[in-house]
Amino acid sequence: MRKMVVGCGYLGRRVAMKWAEAGDEVFAMTRSPERAAEIKNQGWHPILADVTKPETLTDLPEV
- pLDDT, one tens digit per residue, over 41-62 is 999 999 999 999 999 999 899 8
- Residue 28's nearest CA partner among 10, 48, 1 is 48
The answer on pLDDT for 31 being more than 90 is yes
The fold of 2-57 is Rossmann fold (3.40.50)
CB 27 within 8 A of CB 47: yes
| Alpha-carbon 53 to chain mean position | 16
Domain ranges of the chain: 2-57
Residue 40: how many other CB atoms lie within 10 Å: 12
62 vs 60: CA distance, rounded Å: 7
